[in-house]
Amino acid sequence: MWFAMTFGMLSAGGTSRAPASPLLCGTDGSAKRRPTVGAILSSKMTRAGLVSLLLIISLFAFTRRFDDLRKATFQWREGDPVPDHGVDWSVADSEENVDWSRYAYVQYVTTEHYLCNSVMLFERLHRLGSRADRVMLYPDHMLDSRNPLSKTHNTQLLSKARDEYKVKLVPIQVQFRESSDDTWAESFTKLLVFNQTQYSRVIHLDSDSTLLLHMDELFFSPPAPVAMPNAHWLYPKNPMLSSQLMLIQPSETEFARVMDAFRNAGPDDYDMDILDHLYRDSALVLPHRPYDLLTSEFRRAPDMHTKYLGNEDEVWDAVAILNEAKFLHFSDWPIPKPWLPESAGKRAQMQPKCYEVDGVENCVDRELWNAIYDDFDLRRARICHGR
């Protein structure tokens, strides 16, 4: 308001009149000099207005900065994703003509539970603004092509993924095999990701997880048939690659190798064993920080984080670690996966302990760990059940 008034004073007379005279006539007919711009700017009213304007601008800038700092802290209870701080787009942004249709995030689905998990991951990718394609491999029986108006829950979730999150649906035959652990018998279906040769590179994420930040920058990693993080929690006794996250260059050759290894695997070999055997010496190793954080890390004692931190000097800071992480995998054995009914009771019994730090009880790990599970429950109810 003040700025408009001042501007009006400076431009009085309009363009349709003759150039304004520096002299004005008073009511008694005497000549008075029109106030100059300098005089106006030096007046008390103008100075007060300028100070007010500067205060308003400063307050707005401070509010924006404070809001950024507030959002940079961990806020799971709102169900929002952690802000995309620190993502390195230097490689992707330097490619002005990137054809994003050559890259994709791929999920496989075997049951209704995992269908919901996959839709949740695609919802997060959609919200985070990932530019790559999204592909879901789903059992062909879940979507009845003879009845496109079917209203089953599976059909509704598949339609939601396709229509709201721009997911391309690909029907498949689920890959079964005999195993001493039926829980993982269907996980070999993920090996079909190697056959998605319509893409130059794909990222596969295990769906029993939470995506904190997208990983589009990985598509521009150095060439390699497979890129995976190390299973840091198994080192040094049992060094292995982790198949929870894979960056793959699909090809007929690699798919044939993988399926041959699948057919000749032992009864107790899981997909992680097969892939480690094939690619242990040739895979591009991705840093597990920030690409492979386990929820069980928050249940460790303060001095037991060396394997994840990668050194013995760094002090564990749960908030900082969570804010830098991009991928969080639910792994808290013997606590069941978070969507199973018995999970809540086990979680209450086995939640992280509080520890004394500098004479003060510290429960940050417990609070974050519980918030992670609570956030998963809230998002699952909202995305998959419309609650």
Residue 330 and residue 210 in contact, taking contact as beta carbons nearer than 8 Å: yes
Neighbours of 215 (CB within 10 A): 24
| Per-residue pLDDT tens digits for 75-92 | 333 344 333 333 443 445
pTM for this predicted structure: 0.74
For residue 7, pLDDT beyond 80? no
Sketch out the chain's domains with CATH numbers. 97-385 (3.90.550.10)
Q: What is residue 90's predicted lDDT score, i.e. its pLDDT? A: 44
Least trusted range by pLDDT, from 10-14, 160-164, 181-185, 195-199: 10-14
5 vs 369, higher pLDDT: 369
The DSSP result for 323-338, as a single string, is HH-SEEE---TTSPPT
Instruction: For the chain, give the percent of residues with pLDDT over 70.
Output: 70
| Per-residue pLDDT tens digits for 242-290 | 999 999 999 999 999 998 998 888 877 888 888 999 999 999 999 999 9
For residue 219, pLDDT beyond 50? yes
Average pLDDT (301-324) is 94
How far is the CA of 326 from the CAs of 83, 86, 323, in angstroms? Answer: 11, 11, 8
Mean of all residue pLDDT scores within the chain: 79
Q: What is residue 248's predicted lDDT score, i.e. its pLDDT? A: 98
Reduce the DSSP state of residue 82 to 3 states and report it. Answer: coil
